[in-house]
Amino acid sequence: MSTEATAEAVDMSAPVVRQIVTQLRAMDSYGTYDTWTDEKVIAPMILTKAQRREIPVVGDPDETTISRVKAYYNAIATLIEQECGLMAVPMINLSHEGFGRAIISIGKLIVVDKTLRDVHRFGFDSIEKLTEEVEKITTKALSFVTDHRDVAKL
């Protein structure tokens, strides 16, 4: 089963899916994605368990994988920003071995803080799992903003 087939079977109209596709296309400085369908652009974000098993446990992430991680957190920041009306800034720090941290801040408030491990194996079992994870992260972030709006406005 290919990743492309997995992505084609889902609804591509979910806001998170649209935003990740937008972010991936924005990072494509060579125009590679210009002729690709949205399904093909987002397909590498989906890794089945079988595909994950094929990836070595120890490995360094390539630039394409790193750009997918950045697109994912950029999309989350954009969705949070759209909901709360305050600028959300993603910051990603990765070692060459694929370990690091992703943070999204709004003003002086850290609303997302995620430790990254094994980035070379970054992906989700399905678009539904990706959507669920993003909704969980954004809901929690928005509750932080609601509870600490004065800090977020700094």
pLDDT tens for each residue of 58-69: 778 888 889 899
Query: Which amino acid, residue 60?
Result: D
CATH number at residue 93: 1.10.3100.20
Burial class (CB in 10 A: 0-12, 13-18, 19+), 97: middle
Which among 93, 92, 81 has a CA at the least distance from the CA of 152?
A: 81
pLDDT tens for each residue of 75-130: 999 999 999 999 999 999 998 888 999 999 999 999 999 999 888 888 899 899 99
Containing structural domain, residue 138:
3-152
Number of domains present in the structure of the chain: 1
What is 29-64 written as a DSSP string?
TT-GGGGS-HHHHHGGGB--HHHHHHS-SS-PPPHH
Gap between the Cα atoms of 154 and 150, Å rounded = 7
CA gyration radius, the chain: 16
The confidence score (pLDDT) of residue 7 equals 41
pTM: 0.85
